[in-house]
Amino acid sequence: MSTLQVLSSDPDPVRDFCVADLDYPQLNEYPCKPYANVTIDDFVFSGLLTPADPSLGPSGTSVTPAFVETFPGLHTQGFAFARLDFVEGGLIPPHTHPRASEFVYITRGRLYAGFIDTANRAFARVYSKGEVMIFPRGLIHWQLNVGEGPASAFAVLNSEKPGFQTIAPSMFGSGVAEEVLQKAFRLDEQAVCSHR
Q: Is 97 annotated as a binding residue?
A: yes
Distance CA(76)–CA(95), nearest Å, equals 25
Q: Is 141 annotated as a binding residue?
A: yes
Q: Is 102 annotated as a binding residue?
A: yes
Q: Is 75 annotated as a binding residue?
A: no
User: If we measure between CA atoms, which residue out of 94, 148, 149 comes closest to residue 124?
Assistant: 94
Distance CA(194)–CA(196), nearest Å, equals 6
Distance CA(32)–CA(72), nearest Å, equals 9
Distance CA(160)–CA(81), nearest Å, equals 9
Residue 56, helix vs strand vs coil: helix
- Contact (Cβ atoms closer than 8 angstroms) between residue 74 and residue 68: yes
Residues that constitute the known binding site? 95, 97, 102, 141
Feature table: binding site for oxalate: 97, 102
Q: Which residues are annotated as a binding site for Mn(2+)?
A: 95, 97, 102, 141
